[in-house]
Structure 1
């Protein structure tokens, strides 16, 4: 009976490295992301019996993991033999952070982008959304945008607003009423050339006509909810 080959640590690391490299368009692009020379990566991926194969030592393994934001020891772990529906999606790429404002601060934002010192903002949330202007997050208060069906933005949700995006019919927008210091979050309705602000909650008051009495500050592009 042929004895089953048990991979050693270097073989495991090489197999895991190949798993990572296969997720990139080219081996060169993977090498750049991992902070390695492409020729070094190529030698690390050589078959076991090929001359000039380069083993992945302890220092190199930890440096590769650090460069790709992987847990320490990830390259050392052999995949389980059971099939898995989980695959490596690539290294985590952090998005840009935007300030979380109150409705009052958002109202001030409509008057001047920096009507207050950004250093005073205590909370910033991340997003990889494509932003066309300046942007900020607003934590939703109240139930006016909670809907029984379709799009619903319940109280406690965070909404990211893009101040450079043009609002269209159906956009969820934040607007500043002339006679109110606070900004309001509503759905924009454009009907036969006339504009209105409407709550998503059908139990809320009728639509508010826009007739020069408010300014749209930004268009909602993303929502997120924190559970803890």
Structure 2
């Protein structure tokens, strides 16, 4: 189920108006209407606030806008489980491990971590989850990856202009997660938070992989 359908069913169940929901998360009623009617897309952090405001806790939000939730989460929504045609599980690793991914691959794909999460995206077998640190990829509007978001990195997917990538700079010991921008042949690593600088790639950077999925835990 898409998060918008779940929220609309929930506010109907608890007798809340869209106007009251907008007030609770400090946006205009018109803005809330755009979000719930899929005319505009809020950030993941804004979706999290909406779900919390209607008391939908411990839900798992996928990057395609669908949710995993307990059957009893909402009474007037029928949750039907359909078989997943494609599903793989990958480990969560640290930024340091990601920085030496080629060397750490065998270790990371073994039982060296207790955290493994599934994806229904079609990926290669050489993927890992990375937990976002800090707020450099948090944006006040549009696509946003707040701290704590899990992003799935496919090390065999080709990058292009606009891809979200994990890269390794030669002068640091760990990886970085940024948006790749290619302008007139020059590559840049750009944060989504304008408070952080854009970094030009001048032969001192290796792109480890492309982000193909993301999950944020609603608590």
Class of the TM-score when normalised by the shorter of the 2 chains: 0.5 to 0.7
Equivalence for 2:82: 90
Equivalence for 1:167: 159
1-side partners of 2:203 and 2:102: how far apart?
Answer: 14
1-side partners of 2:153 and 2:136: how far apart?
Answer: 18
Question: In structure 2, which of residues 195, 200, 211 is the aligned counterpart of residue 209 of structure 1?
Answer: 200
- Tell me how far 1:121 sits from its aligned partner: 1.3
| Cα offsets for 1:133-185 (capped at 9, x unmatched) | 51000000000000011110000000001111111000000001101111000
Q: Which runs of 5+ in 2 are unaligned?
A: 1-75
Equivalence for 2:23: none
Equivalence for 2:110: 118
Equivalence for 2:192: 200
| Cα offsets for 1:22-54 (capped at 9, x unmatched) | xxxxxxxxxxxxxxxxxxxxxxxxxxxxxxxxx
Equivalence for 1:220: 211
Q: Which runs of 5+ in 1 are unaligned?
A: 1-83
Number of residue-to-residue matches in the alignment = 144
Question: In structure 2, which of residues 111, 131, 135 is the aligned counterpart of residue 139 of structure 1?
Answer: 131
Contact 2:157 2:209 in 1 (8 A): yes
2-side partners of 1:220 and 1:167: how far apart?
Answer: 9
Q: Secondary structure, in 3 states, of the residue corresponding to 1:118?
A: coil
Contact 1:101 1:137 in 2 (8 A): yes
Map 1:22-171; keep pairs closer than 5 Å: 86=78, 88-91=80-83, 95-111=87-103, 113-114=105-106, 118-171=110-163
Contact 1:108 1:115 in 2 (8 A): no
Contact 1:143 1:155 in 2 (8 A): yes
Whichever of the two has the greater Rg, that structure is 1
Q: Secondary structure, in 3 states, of the residue corresponding to 1:105?
A: helix
Q: Which TM-score applies when normalising by structure 1?
A: 0.58
CA-based RMSD of the aligned residues comes to: 2.1
Seen in structure 2, the aligned counterparts of structure 1 residues 178 and 111 have a Cα distance that, compared at 3 Å, is: farther
- Tell me how far 1:223 sits from its aligned partner: 0.6
1-side partners of 2:158 and 2:142: how far apart?
Answer: 23
Equivalence for 1:7: none
- Tell me how far 1:108 sits from its aligned partner: 1.5
